[in-house]
Structure 1
Amino acid sequence: MAAMTSVQAAALWSGLMILLLVGLGARVAIARRGNRVVLGDGGNAQVLLASRVFGNAAEYIPAGIGALALLAVLGMPAWVLHGLGAALLLGRLVHAISLSATRPTVGRVIGMSLTWLSLILAGLMLVVHAFSGPPHS
């Protein structure tokens, strides 16, 4: 099997994060249906928690996907995209699993730390890359 290109690496991690979003969205729909909530959370703690887990992922994943795509187009090595994509996906998974309405958890902190670290690194790479190399039109 040949090594992945940068674009393939970005596609892999972006696809996995999209599947995570769909899974978390399905959890919201299942919680709403099970608690007979038509819109919003209906004041139900289970639906509210499922909605926040999905919402939190939806707040961070699109920025990560955009960063991966831009870094791939700019020619960042595939191993960098694998590192960023894996860290972001792992961060979002750990956060989603660990999120609790009753108390903060170590997993929640680890999940957010991985998420922020991957996004900060991607952001810095994009800013540096914007000012390096030959000018493009």
Structure 2
Amino acid sequence: MVLPITAFYASLLGICYLYLSFLVIGARRRHQVGIGDGGHEDLSRLTRAHGNFSEYVPITLIMIACFEANTGQVWAVHALGSALLFGRVLHAYGLGRHSGVSWQRFAGMILTFLAMLCAAIGNLVLIHFGL
């Protein structure tokens, strides 16, 4: 089974994950902190941006892959992948650059939750109704 659309978004998200990893590594080296954040707010924010990404992306990508495999509409698979990608980029940017609340974090989480919810509902509809 080939899932080219999911593979496309998974690849872009993988590059984003590597970028976040390198940001965390750079901050760890700059502050000479091996474990934890050493009390450095920037390292704490970057670590959480990286962690949050790794918490939401896998399950959402799995649901998008299932949706594509269940013959979900091409435009809908792209909409789900785009929402997840832009949501994660916005959230990471907002968390990495601002302490406290930011519109980027808020919008990023809304897009991420929409991708998760729509993928879940889409899969249930496709499975139940066999569309």
Per the normalisation by structure 1, the TM-score is 0.87
Bigger CA radius of gyration: 1
Given that residues 28 and 43 in structure 2 are in contact (C-alpha distance below 8 angstroms), is that contact kept between their aligned partners in structure 1? yes
CA distance in 1, matches of 2:99, 2:47: 15
1:1-137 matches, within 5 Å, as 7-99=3-95, 100=97, 102-133=99-130
Q: Which runs of 4+ in 1 moved over 6 A?
A: none
* Cα displacement string for residues 2-44 of structure 1 (whole angstroms, at most 9, x for unaligned residues): xxxx821111011111111111111111110110001121222
Following superposition, the deviation at residue 53 of structure 1 comes to: 0.6
**Which structure dedicates a bigger proportion of its chain to helix?**
2
CA distance in 1, matches of 2:118, 2:129: 16
Identical counterparts, % of pairs: 31
CA distance in 2, matches of 1:63, 1:19: 17
Which blocks of at least 5 consecutive residues in structure 2 are unaligned?
none
CA distance in 2, matches of 1:47, 1:106: 21
Which blocks of at least 5 consecutive residues in structure 1 are unaligned?
1-5
Over 3 Å counting, the alpha-carbon distance change for 1:133 and 1:102 in structure 2 is closer
Alpha-carbon RMSD across the aligned residues, in angstroms, is 1.6
Per the normalisation by structure 2, the TM-score is 0.90
CA distance in 1, matches of 2:12, 2:43: 24
CA distance in 1, matches of 2:22, 2:60: 21
Following superposition, the deviation at residue 133 of structure 1 comes to: 2.0
Following superposition, the deviation at residue 131 of structure 1 comes to: 1.6
